[in-house]
Structure 1
Amino acid sequence: MADFNHLDTIYSAADEANAIECASSTSSIEVLTPDPVIIRGAGSTTLFGLSSKFDEEFPPALNAKLAPEEYKATLQRINGVLRKTLPMNIKWLICGCLCCCCTLGCSLMPALCLNKRTKLSLDKMIDWENNHLYYKLGMRWKLSKRKCPTNSMVEYVLVIEFLPKVPINRPD
């Protein structure tokens, strides 16, 4: 006959939490990933934190992880988007500043909308690059807003994160 007396035992929530913590600590594997690579804007013009171009110099942290040609091609595409969109954004900003007093600031809205559109275009292009190349290499590029190290302004930078390599559990 089966003994079901152990089913009537009452455990406290602390006992269950300790049991779960012990089980998770023994089965967890610590995965170390390198620090992300940050590429700051190198252009002469910055509009709403978005620089007019990014530096195409290959960072040494990407050696043996990414070909310099692929890195340069991606940055050329990103800089191409910025080269096409930022001059128009600047023209709308100047026009908006000239008419700002008459329109109570509403004339700045086109410049803000165009800047948002530029960021969305960059995000879409970076997402395409990630899906077609960088996820396969264990990397993820993203456009991120960061505080400038020299002042209290905010700038957009490219961040290259390294994805953790998850071990595959194979049955023996």
Structure 2
Amino acid sequence: MSVLLPNMADFDTIYELEEEDEEQDEPEPVVRSQELPRPRDAPDPVAVRGAGHITVFGLSNKFDTEFPSVLTGKVAPEEFKTSISRVNACLRKNLPINVKWLLCGCLCCCCTLGCSLWPVVCLNKRTRRSIQKLLEWENNRLYHKLGLHWKLSKRKCETSNMMEYVILIEFLPKYPIFRPD
């Protein structure tokens, strides 16, 4: 028996396969959605809103450290406050610089045709990325083990049409691993 090796010139060539008669094909079994294991419905995510008095492009200068009652039994209040304190420390370090650049950018906005606001936009993006990295580190360290996922998300304010950044705490669905196939 000889084995034919493909020619390197034909390696990337796509060939169209001839379809066989559909009469001879057996119909594929239909898998109904009731038969598939479904995760239990997870509760709605908890939103931790900004509680500061300064907001730059939707990012408040601190988040509320009050423990939400929905998280009782899921995470210790001390761990929650520690995580929020880390995020607030990151904001305390970065946001005053953003405010100074925003004031300078607004003063020079007419002369620079708006280009003086670019440093503020870039610094705000850098602050958001550092918070997202911090939350990802917290997730890997603790919260994924507890069935929670923290993320920074943009949401519409409840009182106006403005957008704000909130920390969303999502509940990870639990899959029934002991259910037979």
TM-score of the superposed pair, with normalisation by structure 2: 0.82
Q: 1:66 aligned to 2:80?
A: no
Q: 1:8 aligned to 2:7?
A: no
Q: 1:20 aligned to 2:42?
A: no
Structure with greater Cα Rg: 2
Q: Which residue of 2 aligns with 1:34?
A: 43
Give RMSD over aligned pairs: 1.7
**Which residue of 109, 113, 116 corresponds with 1:100?**
109
Aligned amino acid, residue 139 of structure 2: N
Question: Where does structure 1 lack aligned partners over 5 or more consecutive residues?
Answer: 1-6
Following superposition, the deviation at residue 137 of structure 1 comes to 0.4
Q: Deviations over 1:75-114 (max 9, x none)?
A: 0000000001110000000001111111111011101100
Q: 1:167 aligned to 2:171?
A: no
The structure that is helix-richer by fraction is 1
Question: Where does structure 2 lack aligned partners over 5 or more consecutive residues?
Answer: 1-22
Q: Which residue of 1 aligns with 2:138?
A: 129
Q: 1:120 aligned to 2:123?
A: no
Q: Is the 8 A contact 2:39 2:176 kept in 1?
A: no
Q: Secondary structure at the match of 1:53?
A: coil
